[in-house]
Amino acid sequence: MNLLEYIDQHKDEHLKELGDLLRIPSVSAKSEHQGDIQRAAQWIADKLTAIGMDGVEIIPTKRHPLVYAEWLRAPGKPTVLFYGHYDVQPAEPLELWTSPPFEPTVRKGLLFARGAADDKGQVHIHLAALESLMKVYGRLPVNVKVIVEGEEEVGSENLYKYIRASKAKLRADALVVSDTGMVAPGVPSITYGLRGLSYYQLEITAAKQDLHSGVYGGGVTNPLQVLAELFARLHDKDGRVAVPGFYRDVRAVSGEERQALRALPWSEKDVKRFVGATRLTGEKGYSTLERLWCRPTLELNGMWGGYTGQGAKTVIPAKAYAKFSTRLVPNQDPKKIAELVEKQVRRLLPKTVTCKFETLSTGKPWIAPYQAPIFQMASRALSEGFGRKAVFIREGGSIPFVTEVDDLLGMPCVLIGFGLPDENAHAPDEHLSLEHYFGGIRSVARFYEELAGLESTKAGSRRRR
């Protein structure tokens, strides 16, 4: 039987099976879900065994287990490493869900459940694709390694440890991840760029204690005012980040890329509607899509100090705080940027305050050479799977895993995701389009077939150069 026919004939079984996985509330952030985490890992392992994968392991870690499996019986063919995660974000606030988060429900062609898009639904697309290949051909077209973790939503610490210790085992010709989205409903998309994320926290101290604003107001430095003036000065009037050197290493958006971005089926109107804004704002001289995907930013994520309760309190607080982050693009170096930001913050602050500047995390931007053969293979497979030409997109967000693994394993990474821009990945009513789910299984199965044509480095069997 034809592969795509087989897949189309097994929609109901696949969807039913995904439902079983989504019903497990494998929330990684909450210790009361420890048992659910174990169940989800076991579910994935059992499924991999059922598919016919070899060496299925549930690998315990200090926190949540990893699931590994491989199928390396295609000598001379390339090896693909698939990554996904079985853990999910907490579902709260529960009252904002239309149907319960762990009771998968289909409404208007959308499958609603926590994890439907991020990432169980997308993991299951790969499981269903591998199973379909096995059923139709009795084998896989390439060597496949699968790693599914349970800590993606809480920092992947133990995954990175495992990867560092298991480089040889995980060696492959390409990494395939489905944890991103499509630019618009029905438009298959390959993500070739991610922004890096560095996150900072600032504590400004102006006094050794809170002061009465009547007694001291007008005569002392107010740290909230200092914070306001600081952040006002961290952007110029054109919306550019006013940190000397911030843009020095930014790779310009080429004319070709700008044109490609303009051609995307992407509507500023949809963003406005989702945001609820009459007008979108940002750095002068760039389109919204360029601002979101190709330009770095400095954003306040939180700011607090003084009295925040009901009514009035006449206080000048001793301290004021801010959390803020920079989204970085190629070729900005997060460490260098963090230094520049800290230097500028310290330079702008008045001498009358002290400042504790913390860089909570740094993360590199990522960009893939999407002209390379593997990306063209993905494009062909997606176009076939969805019956619509695939597009290349970037994303404004960051996937620490991608850059981390890029550093650790040094293999090309293909991000083919099936989420939707409004999928509510971390919010109530998370959902996955059934059209994307089924199109995803078709595309991914075809992609594994296409990958047979990739030049093999025998990554499955011997050391990589």
Give yes or no for residue 184 binding a copy of itself (CB under 8 A): no
Q: Cβ 319 to a copy of itself, closest distance in Å?
A: 11
Q: Which of residues 397-416 bind a copy of itself (CB under 8 A)?
A: 397-398
Give yes or no for residue 218 binding a copy of itself (CB under 8 A): yes
**Which residue number, 208 or 465, has a Cβ lying nearer to a copy of itself?**
208
**Which residue number, 89 or 143, has a Cβ lying nearer to a copy of itself?**
89
Give yes or no for residue 332 binding a copy of itself (CB under 8 A): no
Closest to 39 (Cα-Cα) out of 25, 53, 56, 50: 25
32: left (phi over 0), alpha (psi -120 to 50) or beta: alpha
Give yes or no for residue 299 binding a copy of itself (CB under 8 A): yes
- Cα torsion 102, 22, 180, 341: sign: positive
Give yes or no for residue 300 binding a copy of itself (CB under 8 A): yes
With 0-12 / 13-18 / 19 or more C-beta atoms within 10 angstroms meaning exposed / middle / buried, residue 445 is buried
Q: Which of residues 350-369 bind a copy of itself (CB under 8 A)?
A: 350-352, 360-361
Closest to 407 (Cα-Cα) out of 251, 190, 196: 196
- Which one of 10, 233, 380, 388 is in contact with a copy of itself (CB under 8 A)? 233
Q: Cβ 283 to a copy of itself, closest distance in Å?
A: 7
- Give the relative orientation of helices 400-409 and 157-165 as an angle to the nearest 10 degrees: 10
Q: Cβ 338 to a copy of itself, closest distance in Å?
A: 14
Please name every residue paired with 189 in a beta bridge, in sequence order, or none if there are none.
Answer: 391, 417
Q: Cβ 35 to a copy of itself, closest distance in Å?
A: 21
Q: Cβ 279 to a copy of itself, closest distance in Å?
A: 5
Give yes or no for residue 151 binding a copy of itself (CB under 8 A): no
CA–CA separation, 422 vs 210, rounded Å? 43
Q: What are phi and psi of 229, to 5 degrees?
A: -65, -35
CA–CA separation, 306 vs 308, rounded Å? 6
- Which one of 138, 255, 276, 369 is in contact with a copy of itself (CB under 8 A)? 276
HEC assignment per residue over 116-141: CCCCHHHHHHHHHHHHHHHHHHCCCC
For residues 87 and 152, the answer to whether their CB atoms sit within 8 Å is yes
Active site residues: 87, 152
For residues 64 and 157, the answer to whether their CB atoms sit within 8 Å is no
Token pair belonging to 152: 């993606």
Q: Cβ 176 to a copy of itself, closest distance in Å?
A: 21
Task: Give the burial string for 253-291 (b: 16+ CB within 10 Å, else e).
Answer: beeebbeebeeeebeeeebeeeeeeeeeebbeebbebbb
CA–CA separation, 97 vs 91, rounded Å? 9
**Which residue number, 59 or 355, has a Cβ lying nearer to a copy of itself?**
355
**Which residue number, 109 or 214, has a Cβ lying nearer to a copy of itself?**
214
**Which residue number, 267 or 461, has a Cβ lying nearer to a copy of itself?**
267
- Which one of 39, 323, 343, 380 is in contact with a copy of itself (CB under 8 A)? 323
CA–CA separation, 78 vs 324, rounded Å? 43
- Which one of 23, 135, 235, 380 is in contact with a copy of itself (CB under 8 A)? 235
Q: Which of residues 42-101 bind a copy of itself (CB under 8 A)?
A: none
- The number of residues that bind a copy of itself (CB under 8 A) is 87
Give yes or no for residue 128 binding a copy of itself (CB under 8 A): no
**Which residue number, 108 or 208, has a Cβ lying nearer to a copy of itself?**
208
Which residue stretch of 53-61, 73-81, 320-328, 444-452 sits at the interface with a copy of itself (rule: CB under 8 A)? 320-328
Give yes or no for residue 302 binding a copy of itself (CB under 8 A): yes
276, containing H or E segment: none
Give yes or no for residue 30 binding a copy of itself (CB under 8 A): no
**Which residue number, 184 or 318, has a Cβ lying nearer to a copy of itself?**
318
CA–CA separation, 166 vs 250, rounded Å? 34
Give yes or no for residue 328 binding a copy of itself (CB under 8 A): no
Give yes or no for residue 321 binding a copy of itself (CB under 8 A): yes
Give yes or no for residue 432 binding a copy of itself (CB under 8 A): no
Which residue stretch of 107-115, 119-127, 203-211, 335-343 sits at the interface with a copy of itself (rule: CB under 8 A)? 203-211
DSSP label of 198: E
